[in-house]
Amino acid sequence: MSSLACMLYDLGNEVSGSDLSKHFFTEEPLKERNIPIYDFNPENIKDNTHIIIGNAFLEDFPEVIAARKNPTCVCARYHEFLGTFLKNYKVISIAGSHGKTTTTGMLSSVMKNFGHTGWLIGDGTGHLTKDTEYFCLESDEFRRHFLAYYPDYAVITNVDIDHVDYFKDDADYRSAYEEFATHVKKALIIWGEDPEARKLNLGDKKHYWYGLEDNDDIQAVNVEERRDGMDFDVLFEGKKYAHFSTPLVGHHLLLNSLAVIGVAMLEGVPAEMIEKGLCEFSGVKRRFVVEEHKDNIYVDDYAHHPTEVGVTIATARMRFPEKKLVAVFKPHRASRVKYFAEDFKKQLMKADKVYLCDFTSIDDKQDGTNIDITYLQKMIPGSVVITEDEKGAEILAKECPACFLFMSSKDIYGLADLVKKAH
């Protein structure tokens, strides 16, 4: 929402919004533009205003009620507004359970060298000018919201079930992507090693698989992954396309790169321009953001699903092989913890030590999801529940020197600052 607000402001619109008084990292661009942010109050809804409703707010929220009741206001949910607003651009949607934010950021880094490019990314980053031609859009499957979009191209990074409070099962989850695929005008680029993706019924929709296997249309071969970068060749439909050398580290970034290469190649971006954009990509907010302090490494990551937790730990192993890995994990939804408990256990135990922070999950409606962090703690031998305060930081500081992995869709990185003070 903050990214969209900034984009609309930059196009010359008058913009304001409502939010909690608590500070969030996404606020900074709003403050730089002096965009007013008010405390929640139905009186914030003024006549003759276009109201964009964030998806965190249900229809019974006081400001939503006030907006819906005002006949002079035009109301739309975030995804509904975007679906209409972006119809004048060449839209490239990045969908999938994991990797959307990073891949969208990486794609925008490549496409902006080729043509006037805008982007809207889940890390709170957005950019749009009046001469924008291409638009890179992170497209969330949450409650099927991405069905509001009709992109020219779409990437599907994986179809690993999530949002289990809404989707009934794997088949229901796949059905959302199958319907999304019908909205794509030109072509889909899909990760080929995801078994759930391979089950998608895509009809006659043009699509290309990417990955490292011989049955992938966009295939990486001769791959050399190092702690300071990677080199690989790309084959397109079995024929040599180009060689790429980048400073990116981590197998997931190799896969993200292949998706980006696929889109850019189909749109006619020269290979050397693609490589330049990949090399210029500096990462996105809250996705493996590294900070070094004294003899410790601190990593802030948005990982909140078992697959993402596993990727974060594996990437840390590759980049900092000499360091003890200390995982600090705070879940988001009780339904996700309960559904994926065994998977969380499997992935978290790949760290050398596991610490857990409790959570609240006020939006879970399913029966049996009224659990706390001890549900997971009891499953992971040696794991410890800590509080997000000085006391918790003192416990973590005893692990120094180490590589601390703070993983959550919630902001727990404040603990890192407390550890620095305690050590």
Kindly give the interhelix angle for 271-280 and 100-111, rounded to the nearest 10 degrees.
130
pLDDT in tens, 51-90: 999 888 889 999 999 999 999 999 999 999 999 999 999 9
Identify the burial level of 388 via C-beta atoms within 10 angstroms of its C-beta, where 0-12 means exposed, 13-18 middle and 19 or more buried.
middle
Cα separation of 95 and 357, whole Å?
A: 29
In contact, 98 and 65? CB cutoff 8 Å:
no
Cα separation of 149 and 142, whole Å?
A: 13
In contact, 128 and 136? CB cutoff 8 Å:
no
pLDDT of residue 282: 79
Q: Is residue 25 very low, low, confident or very high in pLDDT (cuts 50, 70, 90)? A: low
Give the predicted TM-score (pTM) of the model.
0.78
Q: Is residue 29 very low, low, confident or very high in pLDDT (cuts 50, 70, 90)? A: confident
Cα separation of 118 and 109, whole Å?
A: 10
| Average pLDDT of the residues in 12-31 | 81
Q: Is residue 367 very low, low, confident or very high in pLDDT (cuts 50, 70, 90)? A: very low
Q: What values do phi and psi take at 153, rounded to 5?
A: -125, 155
Q: Which amino acid is at 33?
A: R
Residue 115, both tokens? 């043509």
In contact, 298 and 289? CB cutoff 8 Å:
no
pLDDT in tens, 261-274: 999 999 999 999 99
pLDDT in tens, 273-321: 999 999 998 776 777 888 998 999 999 988 888 988 998 999 899 999 9
Cα separation of 211 and 193, whole Å?
A: 6
